[in-house]
Amino acid sequence: MSALFSIKAEIESQLSPRFPAAFGVKERPEFSLLPTGIAALDHFCGGVPCGALTEICAHPAHSSGICSLLMSLLKTTSADHFCAFIDGSDAFNVRWADALQVQLEHLLWVRCQDRSPDKPLPGRLDQALKATDLLLKANCGFNLVLLDLQDMPEKLVRRVPLDVWYRFRQTVEQLKAALVITTPAPVTGACSALVLRLQGAGAKWESTTNPPQRHGDTKEPKRSGDLVIGGSGDRVIRPSDSVERSLQEEHTHNTTLEEFCIDVEVNRRRDFQKRSAVARLQFTASRSL
């Protein structure tokens, strides 16, 4: 056995100067982080890692808060960086982004379209994956690339070969850009450094004697603070608080959906930070500015 080790050591010593990459240990550089703007999440893992893939998944029919998270990330990132948003479902809300003061001129928006007889296009999923591939290969200097596959059928997304995600991961490692993918279920496996599973919780429906704020009203919109979407943590709204009222008893036109809570399961992989960890967090998505 010792003879084998000595032969191996001898071969390595002869070949290592010629092929250093094959025998050296690749030191993964420290990830720089893009803060999400959600205090609880940023406190736990610092934000979204650059040069790595982050997956955010949630049930497509639920109000899971994925868009709130993405908007908050865009708001904090677009101020200083250029971002690209590959919108697999063409669902980006421009007015919401504008109200949040996202730097829209720093955002390249790619809207995938449905196939039609006069548009011989591939399916939306193929369009989104091709567009992401092109965008990453072009190396145009986008620091954050968002790929939104949230509303895609889970079956289709699961069929995407793993090597696609692996290729994306390899590319963003070289680019030092953050790639964030939203999916209906976890599909990227070990390719992602950070996985967030989001689930909507209770909502706050605010009933007022005054009519709700509509356009044309002179009343100033309500401002709850600096952050539009922030980690409240201390305020938890249970579903039972809001659901149990009878429909007949309330005046529905005076009631508006103000905010809802989001439970986040954070799965931090080993290659992202020194040790893997799983945590449960909560933040609130608020409608008022």
Cα dihedral 77, 83, 87, 90, rounded to 10, equals 80
Figure out which of the listed residues 113, 162, 190, 280 binds another protein, where binding follows CB under 8 A.
Answer: 113
Distance between terminal CA atoms of the chain? 70
Residues 178-217 that bind another protein (CB under 8 A): 199-200, 202-203, 205, 212-216
Q: Evaluate whether 93 touches 118 at the Cβ level (below 8 Å).
A: no
The interface region with another protein, picked from 2-10, 18-26, 84-92, 185-193 by CB under 8 A, is 84-92
Token pair in block for residue 245? 């009222």
Which of 203-219 are b and which e, b meaning 16 or more Cβ less than 10 Å from the residue's Cβ?
bbbeeeeeeeeeeeeee
What's the closest the beta carbon of residue 60 comes to another protein, in angstroms?
A: 9
What's the closest the beta carbon of residue 6 comes to another protein, in angstroms?
A: 53
Residues 139-158 that bind another protein (CB under 8 A): 139-142
> Counting contacts by CB under 8 A, is residue 287 touching another protein?
yes
Residues 219-258 that bind another protein (CB under 8 A): 221, 239, 242-243, 245, 247-248, 252-253, 255-257
Figure out which of the listed residues 8, 130, 176, 235 binds another protein, where binding follows CB under 8 A.
Answer: 130
Taking the least distance from each CB to another protein, the nearer of 115 and 270 is 115
State how far the alpha carbon of 248 is from the alpha carbons of 52, 244, 251, 252, in Å: 51, 12, 8, 9
Figure out which of the listed residues 39, 99, 185, 277 binds another protein, where binding follows CB under 8 A.
Answer: 99
Nearest C-alpha neighbor of 150 from the set 180, 112, 182: 182
Taking the least distance from each CB to another protein, the nearer of 133 and 271 is 133
d(CA 145, CA 177): 7
What's the closest the beta carbon of residue 123 comes to another protein, in angstroms?
A: 11
Residues 38-67 that bind another protein (CB under 8 A): 59, 61-67
Figure out which of the listed residues 34, 50, 57, 92 binds another protein, where binding follows CB under 8 A.
Answer: 92
Nearest C-alpha neighbor of 60 from the set 187, 145, 154: 154
Q: Evaluate whether 120 touches 132 at the Cβ level (below 8 Å).
A: no
Figure out which of the listed residues 18, 24, 27, 95 binds another protein, where binding follows CB under 8 A.
Answer: 95
